[in-house]
Amino acid sequence: MSMSTSIYEHPTGSGDPAGAPLDVTAIRRDFPIFETGVAYLDSANTSQRPNQVVQKMEEYYRQYNANVERAAYKLSEQATAEFEAVREKVRVFINARSKNEIVYTSGTTAGLNLVAYSWGRTNLKAGDLIVCTVMEHHSNLVPWQLLAQEKQARLEFVDIDEQGRLRRDQFDALLRQEPRLVAFTHVSNTLGTVNPVKELTAEAHAAGALVVVDGAQGAPHLGFDVQAADVDFYAFSSHKMCGPTGVGVLYGKRALLDAMPPFLAGGEMISAVRLEGTTFREPPHKFEAGTQAIAEVIGLGAAIDYLQGLGYPAMRAHEDALTDYAYESLSELDGVRIFGPPPGPDKAGVLSFDVAGIHPHDVSTILDRTGVCVRSGHNCTQPLMHRLDVAGTVRASFFLYTERAEIDRLLAGLKEAQRIFA
**Site of interaction with ligand PLP (CB under 6 A):** 107-109, 137, 139-140, 185, 189, 214, 216-217, 237, 239, 380
According to DSSP, the β-strands at 102-105 and 336-339 are unpaired
**Pairwise CA distance, residues 357 & 375, whole Å:** 18
To the nearest whole angstrom, how small is the minimum distance from the Cβ of residue 200 to ligand PLP? 15
Residue 380 is a catalytic residue? yes
How many other C-beta atoms lie within 10 A of the C-beta of residue 103? 25
Report CA torsion sign: 193, 198, 201, 203.
Answer: negative
Q: What minimum distance in Å lies between the beta carbon of 53 and ligand PLP?
A: 16
Q: How far is 311 from 12, CA to CA, in rounded Å?
A: 8
Shortest Cβ distance from residue 420 to ligand PLP (Å)? 29
Of residues 68 and 380, the one with the C-beta less far from ligand PLP? 380
Tell me how far, at minimum, the Cβ of 396 lies from ligand PLP, in Å: 14
How far apart are alpha carbons 361 and 394 in whole angstroms? Answer: 8
Cβ–Cβ < 8 Å for 379, 329 = no
The C-alpha atoms of residue 334 and residue 360 are separated, in whole angstroms, by 16
One-letter identity of residue 326: A
Tally of CB atoms within 10 A around 6 = 11
Nearer to ligand PLP, 216 or 366 (CB): 216
Output the smallest distance, CB 285 to ligand PLP, in A: 22
Nearer residue to ligand PLP within complex by CB, 50 or 218: 218
Closer residue to ligand PLP (CB): 146 or 270: 146
Minimum distance of ligand PLP from residue 43's CB (angstroms): 11
Query: Which CB sits closer to ligand PLP, 108 or 170?
Result: 108
Is the CB of 311 or the CB of 392 nearer to ligand PLP?
Answer: 392
- Kindly tell me which of 189 and 352 has the beta carbon lying closer to ligand PLP: 189
On the question of a cis peptide bond just before residue 284, with omega within 30 degrees of 0, the verdict is: yes
Nearest in space to 216 (alpha carbons), one of 251, 181, 182, 264: 251
Q: Least CB distance from residue 119 to ligand PLP, whole Å?
A: 18
| Catalytic annotation, pick one of 132, 242, 373, 380 | 380
Closest to ligand PLP by CB, 19 vs 377, is 377
Which positions are catalytic?
380
